[in-house]
Structure 1
């Protein structure tokens, strides 16, 4: 904050009450992984959004909930299956 305060003096009076950090998941083709686990029945994946998970979260949540509850999804998810890496090898 000290460096920023040189450009914006009012920031010097700001009290930081909490901070947060996290990791971003990236996969080699830069596409998320969404869908059923290929090894664990009842486990579903939704990760690897390359820093865009917050923006996409509501839509992904709807699609994943539909998949979990009905066994299928109106939104095509085949391109995001986890086994796409095995298929490409």
Structure 2
């Protein structure tokens, strides 16, 4: 992604709320007391990084879900818990290893 791609503009919130209210009219009655925004993390191949660190024993990775973290989170949590507690995982994680970025193509 291009540098500067991720930007949060709090001035857009009223526009976004009006757009949502067209689809869900009851939302127009909601009082917004605070907001939060963040940036999505993306990796080159658009696949998450999961598994053991290639360099640091005892460090495990689970990141780079490219906007799908909420959907994938429960399954990833289950797989990572199994890997961390037993040292193995029934779910194949090899394609998601961190060292895939340093392997020859």
TM-score range, shorter chain: 0.7 to 0.9
Q: Which has the higher contact order (CA 8 A, sep 6+)?
A: 1
1:43 maps to which of 26, 41, 59 = 59
Residue 77 of structure 2 corresponds to residue 65 of structure 1: no
TM-score after normalising by structure 1:
0.84
When the two chains are superposed, the root-mean-square deviation of aligned CA atoms in Å is 2.2
For structure 2, which runs of at least 5 residues remain unmatched after alignment? 1-13
CA distance in 2, matches of 1:21, 1:36: 30
Residue 49 of structure 2 corresponds to residue 33 of structure 1: yes
Residue 102 of structure 2 corresponds to residue 86 of structure 1: yes
* Shift in alpha-carbon separation, 1:2–1:55, aligned structure 2, 3 A: closer
Stretches of 4+ moved more than 4 A in 1? Answer: 7-10
Count residues with an aligned counterpart: 87
For structure 1, which runs of at least 5 residues remain unmatched after alignment? none
